[in-house]
Structure 1
């Protein structure tokens, strides 16, 4: 592999990372604009609209529908989130007090034990206290981070909507601009890569939406069965945390279930543990299959790309990992990267 190819791949990976971080609203807007393109063509062909009018109408329809859904569902979820966040500090204070009281009571029970047994028990209790403190702190950080991100999410939403209009206006010329950057002989291959990427990326996004929707339904049903307050808001929080591969929902359900068990609510505590196991098993079994079928890569490749991406660059890698595999497969289908090992 030449140095030029290595540099090109490195720059491509850097671009992907930037797209999924600082460029996320624009990337999402581009995907929506591509999704709206058939509607633009319908307006232009059937109603004889020019590009500007057709893109304005389709983007406005999308905006109205999106804001309508947010108004119908978002208001209820926001109200539950606000009420939940107000009570979170009380939960943490009660948890700390309860743990201290429990430790004092346990210590009074083993004062007459042999010294070696007392030392072993104290070490075990200290480890348990440290573990409980970390779990409570993890839940606290998750809640605080989500609450502090709300203003940024609003700015993200505004930039995203504006970008949808702008991409819709100029989408017809963007592909020609990209192709013009390549040699004329290479343009058919690049065009094939872009078409394969379009199909695979939409499949990837569709699979993520399906997984999140199914996880939300399972979480909501479980919380309703357990008769938990604020089920809509908490299920949404579980979905956000569940983006993390391997036991992501544990950051919410495990500390919460432990707290309820220690405070005497055994039914709800055990129920939360069971819900955590159900969601985890469901994601581990279904995610590689849905992702592989949607984007055209194998289940094992999908799982490896998810995990390696997460380990290398964190949460963003959950999306970048499969996308790198998608791009590679699209390039191979177009006749690129056909080099074989010679011994």
Structure 2
């Protein structure tokens, strides 16, 4: 008995150690499982052999990735090129009309301050400038690191795509081989667990895509009403930071609103604050309901798991929290976890 537990523990430790090196294959296996329904549909609808159904499904999946990446990259490049052409004029306009005027007005006020107070403010300003400089350096280093990592990412992505195709081909055989080592009751529980986790995984992606689309249209409509240039590019940026709980829409809209007030553009500043409030409130109202309906858990459980997961683990907890709730519910329904207790 002890020997079996030691062997099991050793296998679990080995699997945990190998997970970081096996991510492309794990993602490929999950993708193949999610594409399995499409493969079965082609096999039943057109009476195709598995190889042809897998090939068509894989090519459609690859076409979707290519079109999605092409659309995003083209959209971003077009907006960035336009912004780069007009960026220097915008920066000069901001300096002449806002920052220079602000410094000129502040100079009269600072002259009336005691020397100690002025020196303290000067040191604070220097520290702030140094912090901004370090932040910019860190961003530049991160961009260089990102550029250096692109070749490695492309290799891993190629391995992922090949693995998706091969896993799709072998999925039925892998299932048969696995079933040989399972009791009938264990097999039923495993099917229940995998089907629910598969539904939850697809549901999470659908929920996140839906919320991102809603956020994009709210941002785009709001920025268009405010007559902001580059509304599409800025809406994509807002969607990107809104997906990350660490940042949120406030990291874009609030500083922008402050700058607008400095430029004496109260209409734009107030409009950006209102847009920030609307996006935040609508997303927080929709989030629990959308996640619960797509992932099969209650709105309260979705809200609590999202909040507690983020507080405990940060960004990763945003995914881990709901996943743990789903796994617990699935194991309880399968009878693996018993919860019939009383106080």
Return the TM-score normalized by structure 2. 0.75
Give runs of aligned pairs for residues 1-343 of structure 1, distance below 5 A.
26=25, 28-84=27-83, 102-103=102-103, 105-109=105-109, 111-112=111-112, 119=117, 149=146, 152=150, 158-179=158-179, 185-245=185-245, 248-341=248-341
Higher relative contact order (CA 8 A, sep 6+): 1
Structure 2 unaligned runs (5+)? none
Q: Go from structure 1 to structure 2 and tell me whether the alpha carbon gap of 1:232 and 1:40 turns closer, same or farther (over 3 Å shift).
A: same
Measured after TM superposition, the shift of residue 195 of structure 1 is: 1.8
Measured after TM superposition, the shift of residue 207 of structure 1 is: 1.3
Cα distance in 1, alignment partners of residues 81 and 141 from structure 2: 12
Q: Go from structure 1 to structure 2 and tell me whether the alpha carbon gap of 1:81 and 1:193 turns closer, same or farther (over 3 Å shift).
A: same
> What is the root-mean-square deviation in Å for CA atoms of aligned residues?
4.3
Q: Go from structure 1 to structure 2 and tell me whether the alpha carbon gap of 1:195 and 1:38 turns closer, same or farther (over 3 Å shift).
A: closer
Measured after TM superposition, the shift of residue 241 of structure 1 is: 1.3
Q: Kindly indicate whether the alpha-carbon contact (under 8 Å) linking 1:288 and 1:303 is maintained by their aligned counterparts in 2.
A: yes
Q: Kindly indicate whether the alpha-carbon contact (under 8 Å) linking 1:247 and 1:280 is maintained by their aligned counterparts in 2.
A: no
Measured after TM superposition, the shift of residue 337 of structure 1 is: 1.1
Range that drifts further, 200-209 or 176-185? 176-185
Local SS of the residue matching 2:316: helix
Range that drifts further, 308-317 or 125-134? 125-134
Q: Go from structure 1 to structure 2 and tell me whether the alpha carbon gap of 1:298 and 1:159 turns closer, same or farther (over 3 Å shift).
A: same
Measured after TM superposition, the shift of residue 126 of structure 1 is: 8.2
Aligned residues: 330
Measured after TM superposition, the shift of residue 271 of structure 1 is: 2.2
Range that drifts further, 258-267 or 211-220? 258-267
Q: Kindly indicate whether the alpha-carbon contact (under 8 Å) linking 1:196 and 1:330 is maintained by their aligned counterparts in 2.
A: yes
Deviations 1:52-101 (A, max 9, x none): 22201111122224323443454123322455478779978987996687
Measured after TM superposition, the shift of residue 246 of structure 1 is: 6.9
Cα distance in 2, alignment partners of residues 210 and 54 from structure 1: 29
Q: Go from structure 1 to structure 2 and tell me whether the alpha carbon gap of 1:128 and 1:204 turns closer, same or farther (over 3 Å shift).
A: farther
Q: Kindly indicate whether the alpha-carbon contact (under 8 Å) linking 1:246 and 1:280 is maintained by their aligned counterparts in 2.
A: no
Q: Kindly indicate whether the alpha-carbon contact (under 8 Å) linking 1:135 and 1:251 is maintained by their aligned counterparts in 2.
A: no
Structure 1 unaligned runs (5+)? none
Return the TM-score normalized by structure 1. 0.75
Cα distance in 1, alignment partners of residues 289 and 137 from structure 2: 33
Cα distance in 2, alignment partners of residues 279 and 24 from structure 1: 34
